[in-house]
Structure 1
Amino acid sequence: MCLGVPAKIQRIEPGLMPMATVTMAGQERRICLAYTPEVAVGDFVLVQNGFSHSTLSPEEAAQALHTMQSHGLIEKDESCA
């Protein structure tokens, strides 16, 4: 089973296969935006297997991160919420 993790978009690279650099659980990662091309820098997305699958409000992202942190699934990181 895979777990989607909230991430905040830092940079977007437009193109045929749009990519983004995101902050996710305290780390920078590069992800594909093919399923969420409407997002902008500063938006939150749910990332699974290197793809953003849906957008999240800042409140939804904070709640998901809090839940994951409280269950020990990810380390506490204040920079993402």
Structure 2
Amino acid sequence: MCIGVPGQVLAVGEDIHQLAQVEVCGIRREVNIALICEGYPAELVGQWVLVHVGFAMSIIDEEEARITLDALRRMEYDVTSA
């Protein structure tokens, strides 16, 4: 099973070939944005993206990001409390 985790883009390079800084659950990660960047990379700063194995797979809205993060946190709690 594959899972994507929401993250917020904090910083980008000058072009899509440079990795972006994305915060995922409080941790900064370097993420490839080439699959989602259709304009200038700077337009992605502040956007929420779905991250899978170091790649931003899609842009999502903040509400969807929060709902997904809450669901992931509940899964962690359910697994660890069993």
Q: TM-score under structure 2 normalisation?
A: 0.81
Contact 1:18 1:37 in 2 (8 A): no
In the alignment, structure 2 segments of 5+ residues that lack a partner are 78-82
**1:1-80 superposed matches below 5 A:** 1-15=1-15, 17-38=17-38, 39-72=43-76
AA of the residue aligned to 2:74: S
Deviation above 6 Å: which 4+ runs of structure 1? none
Q: TM-score under structure 1 normalisation?
A: 0.82
Identity within the alignment, %:
32
AA of the residue aligned to 2:71: T
Task: Report how many aligned residue pairs link the two structures.
Answer: 73
Greater helix fraction, Structure 1 or Structure 2: 2
Question: CA 1:22/1:32 → structure 2, altered by over 3 Å: closer, same or farther?
Answer: same
Greater strand fraction, Structure 1 or Structure 2: 1
In the alignment, structure 1 segments of 5+ residues that lack a partner are 74-81
AA of the residue aligned to 1:27: I
Mean Cα displacement is larger for which, 60-69 or 18-27?
Answer: 18-27
Q: In the alignment, what sits opposite 1:79?
A: none
